[in-house]
Amino acid sequence: MLTFNRETQGRRDRIAVDIDNLVVAGWTGRDAAAIKHHIEELFAIGVPRPLSVPLFYRIAASQITQGAKLQVLGPDTSGEVEPVLVSLADGLWVGLGSDHTDRKAETLGVALSKQLCGKVLCDRLWRYDDVAPHWDRLMLRSWGIFDGKRLLYQEGAAAAIREPADLLRRYLGHEGALPAATVMFCGTFAAKGGVRPASRFEMELEDPVLGRKLACGYDIEALPVIA
């Protein structure tokens, strides 16, 4: 059961829902050169190049968390800031999340690596229709705590990622709505300074047109790996 504080046209409510399906979209950039850069960034740490893009990974819905701390196995994981589509009974909403991924396991298989880590989802949502007209102007940022220092880790406009309608059409195979009780992570940007683990991950989604932000963060606890 997830709980969201929702906002649309100045009205707010709070809702608790069960999520049945989790989809993580990968390699979703609009710029072919940027996609290649991110692919090569991951290939440099041993992640195989995808055969085609974009790809849609089905992940257990139980992996979604809204907690302030994420426990992971070992020191080789990292977060990724992403816009998130949340389909509810009354329509489509937009949120903010981190596709936290095990980078060591990613060298063996991307789907496996994504299944191994929780996906952090902030507890606030905006109605999609309220931001759709200016979607490309939305800004995403993330920061990591590295050796006690807070550094900007990612930054970019939603214009760099495929539009939601495009992602949904490619995922569904036809025009249509995302099934209710489904969450879709929409993709991310390359990391400044390369992909690397942090002790804390913070993120925000800024709407400069309506003057508001979604923001949250979480601590990462690396559990020991026992052979």
pLDDT in tens, 100-134: 999 999 888 888 999 999 999 999 999 999 999 99
> In CATH, what number is assigned to the domain containing residue 202?
3.90.850.10
Q: Residue 186's closest CA among 105, 95, 115?
A: 95
Domain that holds residue 66: 2-7+16-223
Mean pLDDT of the chain: 95
pTM of the model: 0.94
pLDDT in tens, 66-107: 999 999 999 999 999 999 999 999 999 999 999 999 999 988
Rounded Cα distance between 169 and 117, Å, is 27
Of the pLDDT bands very low, low, confident and very high (cuts 50, 70, 90), residue 35 is confident
Q: What is the pLDDT of residue 196?
A: 94
**Over residues 171-183, mean pLDDT:** 95
* pLDDT of 119: 98
| Residue 184 tokens, joined | 């879709």
Q: Give the residue, 33 or 165, on which the prediction is more confident.
A: 165
- pLDDT above 80 (res 12): yes
Domains in the chain: how many in total? 1
Task: State residue 151's pLDDT score.
Answer: 98
Asked if the model's pLDDT at residue 42 lies above 80, the reply is: no
| Rounded CA separation 121/4 (Å) | 10
